[in-house]
Amino acid sequence: MKQLLEATIETLEQLKSLVIACQGESYNQACEHSLSGIGRHVRHILDHFITLREGIESRKIDYNKRSRDSRLEVEPTLALELIDDLIHWMTANNFENESVFVETEVSVSQTQNMVVASSLSREFCYIINHTVHHLAYAKLVAGQLGIDIDKQVGIAPSTATYLRQTAYG
């Protein structure tokens, strides 16, 4: 579990570097090919972390009930404070790989919720992959706005390994 938590924190550090690089009016500015600005991706990522944190105590994580705090879309300082708070929360707790239940909507065409059995380690894996996915999109937006982001941001762990093992890295 320790390695998984370290990897999750590493992903939050990538998010933090993105927010730092994109402060100012570009933080919530959409670009030509995206309706979502960087701030919206940041808010969405943080929504999932907050939901995970709140659900761990009750052992039921309900991804339908995300906070969707729109201030995180326009206030990078608030986002940075929350990222630091989440990193502190993760380092201050001794998580065990316990069973949890996850509730989520599964259909786009109709309201259809499911509750499935999961584990805390599986949910940390999910949140890493979800974060990387949105970091990649936000990095594309940043690039179109002329903002240079570290090349490691938004790269999936398996892709990073592949790149290290080939001439592409």
Which tens digits make up the pLDDT trace of 72-82?
A: 989 999 999 99
Q: What is the mean pLDDT of residues 83-106?
A: 94
**CA distances (Å), 23 to each of 15, 35, 41, 131, in order?**
12, 18, 14, 19
Q: What is the mean pLDDT of residues 91-108?
A: 92
166, pLDDT greater than 70 = yes
Kindly report the pTM of this predicted structure.
0.91
CA 101 to mean position of chain CA atoms: 20
Rounded Cα–Cα distance for residues 153 and 11 (Å): 8
Domains annotated on the chain, with CATH: 2-165 (1.20.120.450)
| Arithmetic mean of pLDDT over the chain | 91
Q: What is the mean pLDDT of residues 6-35?
A: 89
Nearest Cα neighbor of 48 from 142, 129, 159, 108 is 129
Is residue 41 exposed (0-12), middle (13-18) or buried (19+ Cβ within 10 Å)?
Answer: buried
Rounded Cα–Cα distance for residues 76 and 43 (Å): 10
Please count the CA atoms within 13 angstroms of the CA of 113 that sit on its side-chain side. Answer: 10
40, pLDDT greater than 80 = yes
Residue 169 pLDDT grade (very low, low, confident, very high; cuts 50, 70, 90): low
Q: What is the mean pLDDT of residues 47-70?
A: 90
Nearest Cα neighbor of 18 from 162, 124, 130, 134 is 134
Contact 118, 102 (CB under 8 A): yes
Rounded Cα–Cα distance for residues 48 and 106 (Å): 16
Query: What pLDDT, on the 0 to 100 scale, is given for residue 163?
Result: 86
Radius of gyration of the chain (CA): 16
Q: What is the mean pLDDT of residues 132-138?
A: 94
Query: What pLDDT, on the 0 to 100 scale, is given for residue 65?
Result: 86
Query: What pLDDT, on the 0 to 100 scale, is given for residue 57?
Result: 86
Per-residue tokens: 81: 């404070």
24, pLDDT greater than 90 = no
